[in-house]
């Protein structure tokens, strides 16, 4: 008896999760990956005695990972341990203001009211508004396809549509935050959540103010073995259950016959499948793997999300005032995003510093720390990245040295750099954008590419470049959305 086969292109987190869900549905599953490792952006490396997670550093909604283990009757804690952080993030401004967000919302309201001079009731209303937006939109916008008619038959949809006026889709995230708060630092703190999908708070719609709910309600976490263990523990789960990973074997073409995807072609030949799912960025999927097919030009031409410029530094000192997640804000946020979405970098940059050795001591030598130092960057459209890297490095060192009262440059004993050109090279993310297309539009959610092809049967898409968007939780949602459209064997 023939066992239906599914081929997944790309072993990013969404590709691995899709492979697991389809294996659970009874498919024989093969995953083709051009790199010699699984995980995509969720990769790691070691250098000079320091270990670094190369990509995503924020972990929320761990239940989305846990449920993949539970599908196969396994206890997630036996295979994927993680801790919940008591501190969400530490924020700093050049005037000396410091604020650490506690994981308990009650404590956050108390501490923020004191630090920023705002009434506790105002903060309560804001967080309540954030929660309401999430609860109204998650069942439709995040957890199912926006491009299937049956999605709109769910009972939750009329409720969401009747309350669209509460979603702030016709205004910006910045405008929503200024409507609630007068203190510019508190506005900036909540504006930062636009960067979670590579957008500008001055352009992305106000519905994005639901993002703080995910962080403050569900909490932030850290895998006991680093972020890399998200992808690696799921890879091991997949292998235990018969998923085959073909590493160092990129796909050259998706084979389409009689308007139906029926396999892929790689350097080893033609591989037949009943279903084909691309976890590759949707733009190179069409341009390279489906070059002979009609191209969805309107979707592919949309503005790309922001990218990142990351310095991995081995620092010969411990800074007790820092925690896992740290933000050093720029003095002019609007100028920073204007520069980014005009293809360059501002003079004054907001700097994010992630230090996993705070919780995983083995990630750095004794008396040292592993700093993942990131600034928001434009996608790659041909800029002089050697020059931009140097300019950014100097700006970052100025800000960190000023705020930490130390000459950071003299403490760096090893350095690696990742810029948008390298992100594109290593992950096939077009122009190095981290989240596919940007969300700098009120209709962005509806304009993302769907999780299936409307023209080619048996062809599906998952990952950060398609619905519902980028980031680990949304990529995991995309895997579920794809699997829900494919029948059980």
pLDDT at position 106: 95
CB 461 within 8 A of CB 453: yes
In a 13 Å sphere around the CA of 446, the CA atoms on its Cβ side amount to 5
* Structure-block tokens of residue 146: 């926006």
> Measuring CA to CA, how many Å separate 168 from each of 277, 438, 442, 470?
34, 18, 9, 21
Packing angle between helix 13-24 and helix 472-484, nearest 10 degrees?
30
Q: What are the tens digits of pLDDT across the range 169-205? A: 889 999 999 999 999 999 999 999 999 989 999 999 9
DSSP 31: E
Reply yes or no on whether the pLDDT at 146 is more than 60: no
Task: Please state the length of the chain.
Answer: 489
What span, in angstroms and rounded, lies between the C-alpha atoms of 122 and 132? 15
pLDDT tens sequence across 57-93: 999 999 999 999 999 999 999 999 999 999 999 999 9
Binning pLDDT at 50, 70 and 90, where does residue 145 land?
A: low
Alpha-carbon distance values, 381 to 197, 424, 427 (Å): 19, 11, 17
How large is the average pLDDT for residues 277-285? 97
* All structural domains of the chain: 5-36+247-302+438-484 (3.50.50.60), 41-103+219-225+306-434 (3.90.660.20), 108-216 (no CATH)
- What tokens does 174 get? 């910045």
What's the chain's average pLDDT? 93
Contact between 451 and 462 under an 8 Å Cβ cutoff? The reply is: yes
List Cα–Cα distances, 440 to 138, 170, 446, in angstroms.
19, 12, 12
Distance CA 485, CA 216 (A): 32
Residue 147 has pLDDT above 90, yes or no: no
Closest CA to 174 of 193, 159, 161, 156: 193
Mean pLDDT over residues 405-433, rounded? 97
């Amino acid at each position: 008896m023939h066992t239906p086969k599914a081929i997944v292109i790309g072993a990013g987190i969404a590709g691995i999760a899709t492979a697991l869900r389809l294996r659970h549905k009874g498919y024989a599953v093969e995953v083709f990956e051009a790199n010699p490792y699984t995980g995509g952006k969720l990769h790691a490396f070691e250098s000079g005695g320091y270990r670094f997670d190369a990509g995503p550093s924020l972990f929320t909604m761990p239940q989305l990972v846990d449920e993949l283990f539970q599908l196969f009757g396994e206890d997630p804690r036996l295979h994927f341990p993680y801790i919940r952080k008591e501190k969400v993030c530490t924020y700093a401004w050049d005037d000396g203001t410091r604020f650490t967000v506690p994981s308990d919302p009650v404590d956050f309201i108390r501490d923020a009211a004191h630090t920023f001079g705002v009434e506790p009731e105002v903060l309560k209303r804001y967080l309540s508004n954030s929660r309401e937006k999430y609860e109204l939109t998650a069942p439709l916008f995040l957890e199912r396809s926006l491009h299937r008619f049956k999605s709109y038959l769910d009972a939750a949809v009329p409720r969401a549509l009747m309350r669209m006026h509460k979603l702030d889709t016709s205004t910006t995230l910045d405008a929503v935050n200024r409507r609630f708060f007068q203190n510019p630092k508190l506005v900036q703190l909540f504006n930062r959540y636009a960067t979670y999908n590579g957008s500008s708070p001055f352009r992305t719609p106000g519905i994005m103010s639901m993002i703080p709910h995910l962080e403050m309600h569900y909490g932030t976490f850290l895998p006991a073995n680093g972020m890399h263990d998200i992808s690696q523990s799921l890879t091991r789960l997949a292998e235990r259950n018969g998923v085959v990973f073909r590493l160092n074997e990129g796909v050259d073409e998706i084979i389409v016959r009689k308007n139906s995807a029926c396999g892929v072609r790689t350097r080893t030949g033609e591989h037949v499948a009943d279903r084909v799912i691309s976890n590759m960025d949707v733009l190179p999927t069409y341009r390279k793997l489906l070059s002979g097919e009609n191209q969805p030009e309107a979707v592919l031409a949309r503005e790309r999300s922001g990218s990142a410029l990351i310095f991995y530094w081995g620092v010969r000192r411990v800074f007790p005032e820092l925690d896992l997640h740290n933000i050093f804000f720029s003095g002019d946020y609007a100028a920073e995003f204007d520069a980014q979405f005009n293809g360059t970098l501002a003079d004054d940059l907001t700097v994010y510093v992630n230090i996993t050795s705070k919780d995983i001591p083995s990630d750095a030598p004794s008396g040292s720390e592993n700093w993942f130092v990131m600034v928001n960057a434009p996608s790659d459209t041909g800029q002089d990245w050697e020059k931009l890297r140097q300019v950014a490095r100097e700006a970052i060192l100025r800000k960190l040295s000023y705020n930490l009262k130390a000459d950071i440059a003299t403490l760096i004993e090893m350095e690696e750099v990742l810029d948008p050109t390298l992100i594109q090279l290593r992950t096939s993310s077009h122009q190095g954008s981290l989240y596919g297309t940007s969300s700098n539009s009120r209709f962005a959610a509806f304009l993302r590419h769907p999780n299936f092809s409307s023209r080619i049967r048996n062809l599906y898409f998952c990952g950060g470049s398609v619905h519902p968007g980028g980031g680990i939780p949304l990529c995991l949602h995309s895997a579920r959305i794809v699997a829900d459209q494919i029948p059980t064997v």
